């Protein structure tokens, strides 16, 4: 039982005994994990916004007037069979006119005169795609079908925005990885300084026949404590800070097009990630540092 308790006890004592170095390492982990949390929140919400934009980007296809109902059915089956197409909705010219009038609000009433045979609009398809990045290629394939008058998706700017958001998201993930390695380096250096301050103590343990595992255990637990304590403040900031921001913005950013990720269970997953990252970095950093030292001690 004493063998189990000893590493925890000595690791905690080492943390207190070298409080200045431990505090600097805890602060480094705290700052690093806070930045990691901010970028994870940013990248996750960028992904959420990207999905929202992609869901709203549709292809509007106008059908030639000389295409009858059998031809329209054939066109619909051809479009549905295309890779990347999620849904195809037929909209007749009367429905198209209704939407056109509604889009202009009160001023749209002047177009009521075009109902019936005077309706100049065409029957149409509304196509939803699985991935906004494929919308241009799908539009070109639809345009080549016989009986199609024109294809519009009005989404060039939306597609560019999706590409930019994807680039920012990928850069965020890379930065998160870099910050994780930075925290690992800082903890490893702190443990290394702690080891150098206890060289005499390690020498005595070596002299009396202590194994590497026996010597390593307290340092590893000390690194675990540093990582865990350093994660507490970032977790609190993530939970309460994101909840406040979400409520203040009403769950959207600027417009309904930019929908934010709901608070729960997202903040719980983020908190687990931060604690796991803090503990993992603390464990691995301390293990790496003390193992390297013991290897060079031989």
Domain boundaries, the chain: 2-53+159-297, 58-154
Distance CA 55, CA 53 (A): 5
Widest CA span in the chain? 103
Q: Which pLDDT band holds residue 207 (cuts at 50, 70, 90)?
A: confident
pLDDT in tens, 258-291: 788 999 899 999 999 999 988 988 888 778 777 7
Model's pTM, two decimal places? 0.69
Query: Of 29, 18, 50, which is closest to residue 185 (Cα–Cα)?
Result: 29
**HEC assignment per residue over the chain:** CHHHHHHHHHHHHHHHHCHHHHHHHHHHHHHHHHHHHHHHHHHHHHHHHHHHHHHHCEEEEEECCCCCHHHHHHHHHHHHCCCCEEEEEEECHHHHHHHHHHHCHHHHHHHHHHCHHHCCCCCEEEEEECCHHHHHHHHHHHHCCCCEEEEECCCHHHHHHHHHHHHHHHHHHHHHHHHHHHHHHHHHHHHHHHHHCCHHHHHHHHHCCCCHHHHHHHHHHHHHHHHHHHHHHHHHHHHHHHHHHHHHHCCEECEEEEECCCHHHHHHHHHHHHHHHHHHHHHHHHHHHHHHHHHHHC
**Domain 58-154 architecture:** 2-Layer Sandwich (3.30)
Distance CA 172, CA 106 (A): 45
Stretch 27-56: mean pLDDT: 82
- 266 versus 1: which is more confidently predicted? 266
Stretch 53-68: mean pLDDT: 84
- The dihedral through the CA atoms of 29, 34, 40, 43 has a sign that is negative
pLDDT value of position 296 = 62
Q: Residue 294 — φ and ψ, nearest 5°?
A: -65, -30
Nearby residues of 15 by Cβ (< 8 Å), 6 or more positions away: 22, 222, 225, 226
pLDDT in tens, 170-182: 777 787 778 777 7
Q: Are 136 and 127 in contact (CB under 8 A)?
A: no
pLDDT in tens, 214-262: 878 888 888 888 889 999 999 999 999 999 999 998 888 766 667 889 9
Looking only at the bridges linking them, the beta strands covering 124-129 and 58-63 are: antiparallel
Tokens for 9, please give them: 């006890």
Query: Of 62, 71, 70, 68, which is closest to residue 96 (Cα–Cα)?
Result: 62
Which residues partner with 60 through β-bridges?
A: 126, 152
Determine if residue 105 is left, alpha or beta; phi over 0 gives left, psi from -120 to 50 gives alpha, anything else beta: left
Q: Are 125 and 89 in contact (CB under 8 A)?
A: yes
- 135 versus 21: which is more confidently predicted? 135
Tokens for 75, please give them: 């066109």
Q: Residue 17 — φ and ψ, nearest 5°?
A: -65, -40
Q: Are 287 and 212 in contact (CB under 8 A)?
A: no
pLDDT in tens, 85-105: 989 999 998 898 888 788 777
Q: How many CA atoms lie within 13 A of 170 on its CB side?
A: 6
Q: Which pLDDT band holds residue 120 (cuts at 50, 70, 90)?
A: confident
């Amino acid at each position: 039982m004493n063998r189990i308790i000893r590493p925890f006890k000595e690791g905690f004592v080492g943390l207190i005994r070298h409080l200045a170095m431990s505090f600097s390492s805890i602060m480094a982990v705290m700052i690093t994990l806070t930045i990691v949390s901010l970028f994870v929140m940013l990248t996750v919400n960028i992904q959420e916004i990207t999905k929202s934009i992609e869901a709203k980007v549709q292809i509007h296809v106008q059908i030639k007037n000389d295409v009858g109902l059998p031809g329209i059915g054939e066109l619909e089956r051809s479009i549905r069979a295309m890779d990347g197409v999620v849904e195809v909705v037929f909209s007749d010219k009367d429905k198209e006119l209704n939407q056109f009038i509604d889009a202009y609000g009160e001023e749209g009433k002047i177009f009521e005169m075009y109902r019936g045979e005077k309706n100049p609009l065409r029957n149409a398809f509304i196509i939803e795609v699985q991935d906004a990045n494929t919308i241009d290629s799908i539009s070109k394939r639809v345009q080549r079908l016989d009986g199609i008058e024109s294809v519009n998706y009005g989404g060039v700017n939306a597609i560019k925005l999706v590409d930019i958001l994807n680039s920012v998201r990928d850069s965020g993930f890379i930065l998160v990885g870099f910050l994780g390695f930075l925290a690992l380096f800082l903890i490893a250096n702190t443990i290394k300084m702690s080891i150098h301050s206890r060289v005499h103590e390690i020498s005595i343990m070596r002299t009396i026949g202590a194994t590497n595992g026996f010597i390593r255990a307290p340092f590893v637990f000390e690194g675990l404590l540093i990582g865990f304590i350093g994660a507490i403040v970032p977790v609190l900031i993530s939970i309460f800070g994101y909840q406040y921001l979400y409520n203040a913005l009403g769950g959207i950013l600027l417009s309904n097009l930019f929908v934010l990720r709901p608070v729960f269970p997202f903040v719980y997953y983020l908190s687990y990630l931060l604690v796991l990252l803090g503990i993992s970095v603390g464990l691995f950093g301390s293990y790496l540092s003390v193992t390297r030292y013991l290897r060079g001690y031989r």
